Amino acid sequence: MKYKILYTLLAFGIIACGCKKTTFDEASKGEALGAFAVTAPANNTMLVLNSATPNKAITITWSAAKPGVNTAPTYKFVAALKTGSIEQPIVEFPSDNGGNATKLTLTQKQLDDALKAKGIADGAKAELIWRVIADNGSIKVNGDTFNISITRFGDGVSNFILYGPVSSADVITINPILTAQSLNFKWQKSFAGKAGASVTYKVKFIKPDGSFTTPLFEFTSNNSGLDSNLSVSYKDFDAALTAAGLADQSAIAKLKWSVEATSGTFTKFSDYTNDVSILRDVNLYMVGDASEFGWDNGNPTYMYRDETDRGSYIYTGYLNAGDFKFITVVGSWDTQYGNNGSNGVSLKAKGSDPDPGTYKVTTAGFYTVKININAMTFSITPYSTTGATVYPSIGIIGNFNGWGDITAMSKTAFNPHIWMITQIFAADTELKFRIASGWDVNWGSAPTNKEGKYGKGVRDGSNLIVKAGTYKILFNDLTGDYIFYTK
């Protein structure tokens, strides 16, 4: 019996010993540190420090190195001369946040000062190798080694922006023969990085998919490049477009423009680029004692246009016995078209050129006058108004006035078939020409010319589509001719 009790006690002792908790030391006795990758800048980056923008930031970024169990790494940027060793750097910077961030942010001046302290001359290019090093105290991991060239502060120009013309879907219409009127480009003044140095500018133009390194054409700014604006005559701009292969004046030239500022050997483009669309077109107005308003060039008779031939201008209406010629700008005698001496066409392109002759009306009456400034041809023929309706009222009607009633146009006793109005459209609109009430007599456009600014009205034709803006609108009920002059 006593042996049985002994065996039982031994069994309990063994079980008790088997259930006892064993304590282990779970603390890591070592560290590890994973690899990481630089994300910017790219290898072989060429960096030119700008003395006029010393506070501009330079940023170097990389992914995080996976730390060991206890200690997160710190990082530093190191750089050495390409002819030297990366193990003996000439420049060192801890990363942001005391070395804890995976980013280094420096000003251009900080980097320039560091290179200057190592004897790199002003304006000199330093060919460097660089890397980022991760260090957790016991293990260091080197990032890949990259090449970079850094040009120290020398010449420089400050950042600047363009003022105008601003980017817009609107088309700027210019008269390509005018030397007295100009396109004007303006931008913010830039300042040189070196004391006493000057900045000069060039305005460069490209197609929308082009590059400013190979512009279509360029102009030096006013005052031999020293002014922060450019005035270029319509004629010179047309010549530049033509020389660049954009010779079709009937096509809208869609361009981008930017400004390149230069000080010494340093060049910099404006911070932004602007879009501009140019249409080269000529307005024509009749003046003379044969016309309604005589020789008052501030109040001429507006010509209509042939929608199929943009160089052809038409007027059908009453004329006094007397003389007339044509001007291209209201209020100016600088550019004129007139008689070449044999009823052809002569051009006075600028103010210093001799005036052309006049055309003569021997008998007062209704006439159709045609002049083509491309073919340089002219004709005047009598026009019969027999059976023509004299309407008491005609106006415009469309979305802009709710299609409810016409906005009446005016006419004069001299020309009872020519109607005119100056109208502001706050938004794009569709419209027609119509008599005072009812739709029995209305004029629209040909289906192929709904967006045209001039053409021949068609009875019960398509709605004209007119962009927002201010226009002087003319309509001739004898011929259906209409034209929208942008004010």
Do 97 and 203 lie in a common domain? no
Q: Would 15 be classed as within a structural domain?
A: no
Do 374 and 467 lie in a common domain? no
Residue 476: band (very low, low, confident or very high) from pLDDT cuts 50, 70, 90: very high
Would you say residue 128 has pLDDT above 70?
Answer: yes
Give the list of residues 6+ apart from residue 264 with CB closer than 8 angstroms, or none.
154, 155, 192, 194, 197
- Alpha-carbon distances of 229 from 162, 270, 344, rounded to whole Å: 10, 13, 41
Q: Would 48 be classed as within a structural domain?
A: yes
Average pLDDT over residues 333-352: 91
CATH number at residue 447: 2.60.40.3620
Do 371 and 296 lie in a common domain? yes
Distance CA(392)–CA(390), nearest Å, equals 7
What is the per-residue pLDDT for 65?
A: 94
What is the per-residue pLDDT for 286?
A: 98
What is the per-residue pLDDT for 181?
A: 85
Q: Would 316 be classed as within a structural domain?
A: yes
Do 398 and 307 lie in a common domain? no
CATH number at residue 108: 2.60.40
pTM score over 0.85: no
* φ/ψ of residue 16, rounded to 5: -60, -40
What is the per-residue pLDDT for 289?
A: 98
What is the per-residue pLDDT for 19?
A: 43
Q: Would 30 be classed as within a structural domain?
A: no
CA 112, 115, 121, 127 torsion-angle sign: negative
Do 436 and 355 lie in a common domain? no
Residue 69: band (very low, low, confident or very high) from pLDDT cuts 50, 70, 90: confident
Distance CA(395)–CA(392), nearest Å, equals 11
Q: Where a domain ends, among 99, 123, 151?
A: 151
Average pLDDT over residues 432-449: 96
Do 298 and 218 lie in a common domain? no
- Alpha-carbon distances of 364 from 42, 45, 342, 484, rounded to whole Å: 80, 78, 21, 28
Do 276 and 292 lie in a common domain? no
What is the per-residue pLDDT for 388?
A: 96
Distance CA(261)–CA(117), nearest Å, equals 29
CA atoms within 13 A on the CB side of 51: 20
Q: Would 335 be classed as within a structural domain?
A: yes
What is the per-residue pLDDT for 107?
A: 97
Q: Would 20 be classed as within a structural domain?
A: no
DSSP 137: S
Mean pLDDT score across all residues of the chain = 91
Residues in the chain: 487
Q: What percent of the chain has pLDDT over 90?
A: 83
Distance CA(467)–CA(469), nearest Å, equals 6
DSSP 391: -
Distance CA(292)–CA(303), nearest Å, equals 12
Do 310 and 412 lie in a common domain? no
Q: How many domains does the chain have?
A: 4
Would you say residue 23 has pLDDT above 80?
Answer: no
Higher pLDDT, 360 or 171: 360
What's the pLDDT tens digit per position in 211-249?
999 999 999 999 999 999 999 999 999 999 999 999 888
Q: Where a domain ends, among 130, 151, 172?
A: 151
What is the per-residue pLDDT for 3?
A: 41
The H or E element spanning position 315 is strand 309-319
Do 256 and 296 lie in a common domain? no
Q: What percent of the chain has pLDDT over 70?
A: 94
Would you say residue 37 has pLDDT above 60?
Answer: yes
**Rounded-to-5 percentages of helix, strand, coil across the chain:** 10, 40, 50
* φ/ψ of residue 398, rounded to 5: 180, -160
Would you say residue 171 has pLDDT above 60?
Answer: yes
Q: Would 320 be classed as within a structural domain?
A: yes
Do 145 and 54 lie in a common domain? yes
What is the per-residue pLDDT for 143?
A: 94
Our CA angle for 111, 115, 117, nearest 5°, is 115
Tell me which residue range forms the domain holding 319. 285-382
Residue 20: band (very low, low, confident or very high) from pLDDT cuts 50, 70, 90: very low
Do 166 and 269 lie in a common domain? yes
Do 403 and 435 lie in a common domain? yes
What is the per-residue pLDDT for 54?
A: 93
Q: Where a domain ends, among 132, 151, 170?
A: 151
Average pLDDT over residues 431-442: 96
Higher pLDDT, 67 or 74: 74
Q: Would 7 be classed as within a structural domain?
A: no
Distance CA(457)–CA(112), nearest Å, equals 69
What's the pLDDT tens digit per position in 175-195?
898 888 899 999 999 999 999
Of the candidates 158, 54, 57, 159, the one whose C-alpha atom is nearest the C-alpha of residue 116 is: 54
Would you say residue 458 has pLDDT above 80?
Answer: yes
**Residues 178 and 335 sit within 8 Å (Cβ to Cβ):** yes
Would you say residue 8 has pLDDT above 50?
Answer: no
Residue 486: band (very low, low, confident or very high) from pLDDT cuts 50, 70, 90: confident
Distance CA(42)–CA(269), nearest Å, equals 22
CATH number at residue 183: 2.60.40.10
